[in-house]
Structure 1
């Protein structure tokens, strides 16, 4: 029997609540499979750890998780710790050294969820957003000088390398090729950002020649927000820079019904390091401890993790269970306009998994 070593990092706020629920779900997925198991190792890194130790994770943190098969991450951020400290001290401190350069965010309207757009059918909004996850606007380059003085200067330098852009473009074209519509939209802002983004456009055109079966177009990021809301069916696979995709994927989640259902995979496609899977909703301290956090995003992230580990049958079984649960409005948490709780939704998904009549496979 194959045993997967998973680093569980709940982090801050509701991260602890949804990761705890996700571990229950993953454990049952393994039990249902009959041929693999999980070995979860829990790490208490995050803002509380920072308050005790002055850092978000221990100095040897990466070494502790380097040999894991995957990382299951909750959220980072607290009201009493600066956001740049929490983000750069934990999430980006894992993503960048482990070169998780492909951030993948699927978005679609799940059964039973009413999207905010009028007249949009579920099939009209079925996207995968590919986010460059290692450089761009979040490269961490820049600085400040003359602090506190009238002439204070702050620079934030977006870094675009030919290698970094080429690999994310190739990943995005391959993603588009794997989907039925074989359609890719490249998001840019090369009218205003005339160096890095112009190179982004040029490399997109170069890589496109390797994928003659993929139809592609190019869209300015500001116009993209309009296209996403007015012509959602015109889109399928989307690739954008670190900042642009970060913003557009939140819009996509809202258009699909709630950020509480949106998953993420931070991938090292070459599998040199463990990849990390997380909901995108953040720590949400306004609802922490109330028991009403929507765990669906963490469950969908678990689906992506199972797929990455090669457990396609278990991933499909879990996705079916999620869809059966969201189809019933009684299972909608407050972010979806309902009154369900984290516990009740988790129980419903567990029950749907137990009731799945797909034959067990054992080896």
Structure 2
């Protein structure tokens, strides 16, 4: 398994997580590429070399910390790592589960509505984040910017089919077909065809604004939500907040056909707390549990989740979850529960 610690709090939470994974004694070895980061990019203009990519290809999966540096004003650096990996391995399915680990972490007042346990399935290689577009007369009063929202029949069909494949009972497709007519029409067509292919699952549809409202008023209505790249990005952060915050938000970018995946916590580099030793490692630990589960190390994945649940219940957590532990101490608390 390849490990990319990255930038900001990435190395801190990855170090704490690897110490915890070592305690499981699972049949996995770690190839840590700690030279892939913003500092290397500033020196050489390259972040991820062909040699690095070859090492990643030889592994079974990638565990990633976080990438990004506020000192780099353009987005080329992050795109040269994350977008390259998504495209090279065709990681078209972004899988973001949201589960409330402890009742006290929910921002919702009604206890009957708090028990969120759903998954946002996000198309990961198309949409507004494809990089198609440009600017005319840049840096003038007449500047015109265009970003194209790309949807293909192939891409939309396969992400919807993946959503049905991971659902036990029901899938809700979210779009804005009433306003975004061309892409919306394609998503609607693919949705109808997929629902016919999966008659054993309950299929529903919501516009994205309505979905956001319903997620806040009663997230327990949802099991699997499938949507495009940008809507999925937004809704998965919303569900993360409903489940206790970004410090607990795990994520995986998958190619279901090859089995290869890139596993990363949702929280990003958090430069405001980087180096302070208080970053929450639990999102990375739970992301590792997703990785273990996909590699069919089910017992180890379950053990990690039980240990996280127990540590949270005892308040053995970092300040963002109401505790007073450091990053390393919070990881040690999880190991103690193992």
Q: Same fold (TM over 0.5)?
A: yes
Residues in 1 aligned to 2:302 and 2:112: alpha-carbon distance in whole angstroms: 23
- The aligned residue for residue 4 of structure 2 is 9
Counterpart of 1:320 in structure 2 is: 306
Deviation at 1:59, TM superposition (A): 4.5
1:147 aligns with 2:147: no
Q: Name the SS for the 1:159 alignment partner.
A: coil
Q: Which residue of 1 aligns with 2:317?
A: 332
SS of 1:43 mapped into structure 2: coil
Task: Quote how far apart the aligned CAs of 1:112 are.
Answer: 5.7
Task: Point out where structure 1 has 5 or more consecutive residues left out of the alignment.
Answer: 1-5, 354-363
State the Cα RMSD in Å: 1.6
**TM-score for both structures, normalised by structure 1:** 0.89
The Cα shift of 1:231 comes to 1.6
Query: What secondary structure does 1:185 align onto?
Result: strand
Report how many residues are paired. Answer: 338
Partner of 1:341 in structure 2? 326
Provide the TM-score with structure 2 as the length reference: 0.96
1:236–1:65 CA distance, 2 compared to 1 (3 A): same
Gaps of 5+ in 2: none
- Cα deviation for residue 27 of structure 1 reads 1.7
Shift of residue 96, structure 1, vs aligned partner:
1.7
Superimposed CA distance per residue, residues 103-138 of structure 1 (whole angstroms, 9 cap, x where no aligned partner): 100001103642111113487311111011111111
Aligned: 1:167 with 2:153: no
Instruction: Considering fraction of residues, name the structure with more strand.
Output: 1
Asked if structure 2 preserves the Cα contact closer than 8 Å seen for 1:27 and 1:38, the reply is no
Question: 1:254: which partner in 2?
Answer: 241
Equivalent residues of 1:77, 1:83 under 8 A apart: no
Are the counterparts in 2 of residues 113 and 327 from structure 1 also a CA contact under 8 Å?
no
Paired residues of 2:62 and 2:262 also in contact (CA < 8 A): yes
1:309 alignment counterpart? 295
State yes or no: 1:100 paired with 2:91: yes
SS state at 1:345 partner: helix
**Aligned in 2, Cα 1:151/1:246: closer, same or farther, shift over 3 Å?**
same
Runs of 4+ in 1 over 4 A off after TM superposition: none
Q: Supply the distance in 1 between the matched residues of 2:290 and 2:274 (Cα, whole angstroms).
A: 25
Q: Match of 2:176?
A: 189
